Amino acid sequence: MRFDVITLFPDMVDAVMGHGVLGRAAEQGLVELVTWNPRDYATDRHRTVDDRPYGGGPGMVMKVEPVRAAIQAARAAGEPASVVYLTPEGQKLDGAGVAALADCGRIILLCGRYEGIDERLIELEVDQEISIGDYVVSGGELPAMVMMDAVARLLPGVLGHADSAAQDAFAEGLLDCPHYTRPEVVAGQGVPDVLLSGDHQAVARWRHREALGRTWRKRPDLLEQRGLSHEEQTLLEDYRREQDY
């Protein structure tokens, strides 16, 4: 999958592909990142990409032409792609949205700075607006990096077997189960016996029960949406009994 990011801070965005899971995925050619800086497409001597807002008011607005030229250069450099604008006004990104994006062969991500981008650019070039949550950050780069990380993790081969197993609970619309590692006792606290039992079926059952119980406790709204199988109802009742709920 290829990500093209339109940004005034390419070095910032490059960092997401330099480490860990995504770093390896980029090395393996599973994910590719190309950045395009509107400042390289500004035609005036000062390479201006922003200007004062019509109607007055504080701050600056990103100009249409340099951004549009960068987008068009990106479009011309590969397969047809959807242009996604990261903005607080966008459609809220969730697991389903990430999965849909993972099916695109290529995405062009547009990162706003200053007070935002001239509305005419959005009308001319943007296919979909996406938000990573109901809060404002100083530019679209961090939301773009969050989205690229979430999407890349769903691509075949990016997560080894171990990690993809970790995806199970979340992919099933549940929170994760608790995790433990050595030493067996730390600060006087031990590890649930089932995890030391070597009984893989019992471990899987316990983990599923814990994922259900924690989802019920921390995010009951997710359970509402998801519904429970009969077996899961039983597991959740076990959990509540065991936790004295």
In contact, 213 and 236? CB cutoff 8 Å: yes
Q: Which is nearer to ligand 4H6, 141 or 232 (CB)?
A: 141
End-to-end CA distance of the chain: give it in Å, rounded: 46
How many residues would you count in the chain?
245
In contact, 166 and 178? CB cutoff 8 Å: no
Answer for which of 23, 53, 78, 139 binds ligand 4H6 (CB under 6 A) is: 139
Instruction: Choose the binding region for ligand 4H6 from 36-44, 95-103, 107-115, 188-196 (rule: CB under 6 A).
Output: 107-115
Q: Which of 79, 101, 81 is nearest to 146 (CA)?
A: 101
Q: How far is the CB of 17 from ligand 4H6 (least distance, A)?
A: 20
Instruction: Choose the binding region for ligand 4H6 from 37-45, 139-147, 153-161, 171-179 (rule: CB under 6 A).
Output: 139-147
Answer for which of 107, 143, 208, 213 binds ligand 4H6 (CB under 6 A) is: 143
In contact, 52 and 44? CB cutoff 8 Å: no
Q: Does 88 bind ligand 4H6 (CB under 6 A)?
A: yes
| Backbone CA torsion sign across 35, 39, 42, 45 | negative
Which residues here bind ligand 4H6, judged by CB under 6 A? 86-88, 112-113, 115-116, 131-133, 135-140, 143
Catalytic residues: 88, 115, 153, 168
